[in-house]
Amino acid sequence: MADSAPKSRRDRRRKRSRRLNPDGTMTLIEHIYEFRRRLGWALLAVLAGGIFGFIWFNTRMGPVPSLGSIINDPYCAIPADRRLGSTEGCYLLQTVPFEAFMIQLKVGLAGGAVLTSPLWLYQLWAFIAPGLYTKERKYALTFVGCASVLFAGGAVLAYLLIPHALQLLMGFGSDFFITGLTGDKYISFVLSLLIIFGVSFELPLLLVMLNFVGVLKYAQLKKWRRGIIFLVFVFAAFATPGSDPFSMIALAGALTVLAELAIQIARVHDKRKYRGSESEEWAGLSDDEAAPFDYTPSSIDETPAKPKTEDVT
């Protein structure tokens, strides 16, 4: 009984080892245990990042400003004469008890999840990778890396646009109103804009993925180009919070450029794929044309001819 637990752990490690188990075969229960283990490590990474983000919210990390200052800077970019309490500094309003604590917790968890994303994304990747072939793992790893870069690019673009969007939205009725945003409403607006831009930048990558697996061809994307651009503007109009035309145009313009880049990548991929298939025997056949194989079955009564042997004397 004393050796059963270590042996069980060793057997589980052997199951997860690519060298000892190249096919990554597991039973259903083993998959559940593996998922629970990977999920636990991912949650621990997010929790550790959330604790760090909670501390970072009010603490300056050397040359890096505090997380609260980074989030609050777009609001402070509004002209002082349009902000409530402009003579006393740049502050958000707290209207209910513990609102500031919950905002700090929410922003800390979001910032920590971003900082520790390589850790919990690795856990997700380690759970999925054993079920993929080598070529599929290469493609999946490339797409995950591109998705991370695109999400970060979308979030950075949104952050740069937030001050302009706020000035535009708060400029209406400036002769009669003064801006006094509550912390909860403002943080929700900023986080939603960051997430919307980050997720939206993944849509062109989806077109590339569908092209690589053969679902969408370049000819179809070329024919649908105008419709895709129209849908991009419609999506941007509904996705941007507050009906902000500045953010809508910026998001639609960036997505249009990325969609065109995805179409060109599909064009290069299909051209390369076509050149590789030209050497195949039936490459010139259309999709609805049958290949001229010889379907005549051989007779089971036929016996193979015996090889002739020379009489050596």
> How many domains is the chain built from?
1
Residue 239 predicted with pLDDT over 50: yes
The pLDDT value recorded for residue 230 is: 92
Q: Which two tokens stand for residue 48?
A: 């550790």
Q: How far apart are CA 175 and CA 186, in angstroms?
A: 22
Whether 249 has a pLDDT exceeding 80, the answer reads: yes
The verdict on residue 1 lying in a domain is no
Over range 302-311, report the average pLDDT.
54
- The answer as to whether 293 is a domain residue is no
Kindly indicate the confidence band of residue 256, based on its pLDDT and cuts at 50, 70 and 90: very high
Of the two residues 72 and 24, the one the predictor is more confident about is 72
Q: What is the pTM of this model?
A: 0.69
Average pLDDT on 46-60 reads 89
Please report the pLDDT score of residue 275 as a whole number. Answer: 73
- pLDDT tens column, 210-230: 888 778 888 888 899 999 999
**Structural domain contains residue 52:** yes
pLDDT of residue 5: 45
165-186 as b/e, with b when 16 or more CB fall inside 10 Å?
Answer: bbbebbeeeeeeeebebebbeb
What is the average pLDDT score of the chain?
Answer: 77
Containing domain of residue 130, as a range? Answer: 26-79+93-282
Retrieve residue 250's tokens: 């910026």
Return the minimum-mean-pLDDT range out of 19-33, 69-83, 118-132: 19-33
60 located within any domain: yes
Give dist(CA 209, CA 167) in Å, integer.
38
Percent of the chain with pLDDT over 90: 7
For the residues 65-78, what does the mean pLDDT come to?
Answer: 84
Please, which pLDDT band fits residue 111 given cuts at 50, 70 and 90?
Answer: confident
Q: What is the mean pLDDT of residues 56-80?
A: 83
Burial (CB count <10 Å: 0-12, 13-18, 19+), residue 310 = exposed
In a domain, 192, yes or no: yes
Query: For position 13, what pLDDT does the model report?
Result: 57
Of 164-168, 227-231, 235-239, 287-291, highest mean pLDDT: 227-231
For range 165-192, the mean pLDDT: 76
Neighbours of 264 (CB within 10 A): 12
Q: Contact at 8 Å (CB) between 140 and 90?
A: no
Q: What is the mean pLDDT of residues 110-126?
A: 82
pLDDT value at 280 more than 80: no
Residue 255 resides in a domain: yes
User: In which band, very low, low, confident or very high, does the pLDDT at 48 lie, cut at 50, 70 and 90?
Assistant: very high
Q: Is residue 134 part of a domain?
A: yes
Whether residue 285 is predicted with pLDDT greater than 80 in this model: the reply is no
- What pLDDT sits at residue 7? 47
Sign for the pseudo-dihedral over CA of 55, 56, 60, 63? positive
pLDDT of residue 123: 83
Q: What is the pLDDT of residue 313?
A: 45
pLDDT tens digit string along 72-110? Answer: 888 887 777 677 665 566 778 888 888 888 888 888 888
* Contact yes or no for 240/248 (Cβ under 8 A): yes
Tell me whether residue 147 is in a domain.
yes
